[in-house]
Amino acid sequence: MALSMLNCRVGSIVDHAWTYNAEDRTKVQKDKIRRGIIVRVEGQHSDAISGLYVKFKTNEEPEKVLARELDLALPATTRIAKEAYRRVMGLPKHVGAEFNARKPNPRRRVEDSLAIGNIKTGSEVVKPEIDSEDEEPLVVGLESLKDSL
């Protein structure tokens, strides 16, 4: 459908399908149709539009295109066109909304400046020291308790 003056709004999805020759005043169809979105309109919407800027690729600058070279694909009032304009222009989806951070509670860290060891895995960094081999470790058994009483 041809682009009318009412549809020359920011956010309308258009097809660049024609080339206009000003000398002959003729329209010639293009071999390749480019689809883009209107990002800026110059002029008064009620009287005259002096220029339309259409963005065809995300990494490039908008191009100034004559309105008579464009066909309307989707008007700016549709949900698809609004979502496409938001995505192309990099606008946030939820403006003014507040969300809680979904970070987990920070894990408590163990400060091990003495290098005592990793308690979770059971690996010991510090090994017990035995001064001499003939000393027996102190073991308190039932017999030694009976003697002391």
Name the residue ranges covered by the structural domains of the chain.
Answer: 13-89
pLDDT tens-place string over residues 110-148: 666 666 555 555 555 556 666 656 555 555 555 655 566
The confidence score (pLDDT) of residue 39 equals: 92
From the list 65, 9, 79, the residue with the least C-alpha distance to 39 is: 9
Average pLDDT over residues 28-44: 88
Which tokens is 103 given?
């970070």
SS percent in the chain: helix, strand, coil, step 5: 15, 30, 55
C-alpha angle with apex 6: 25 to 90, nearest 5 degrees? 105
**Looking at 35-44, 60-69, 108-117, which range is the least confident one?**
108-117
pTM of the model: 0.59
From the list 69, 55, 52, the residue with the least C-alpha distance to 2 is: 69
Average pLDDT over residues 50-54: 89
Between these two residues, 67 and 100, which has the higher pLDDT value? Answer: 67
Cα separation, 62 vs 44, whole angstroms: 20
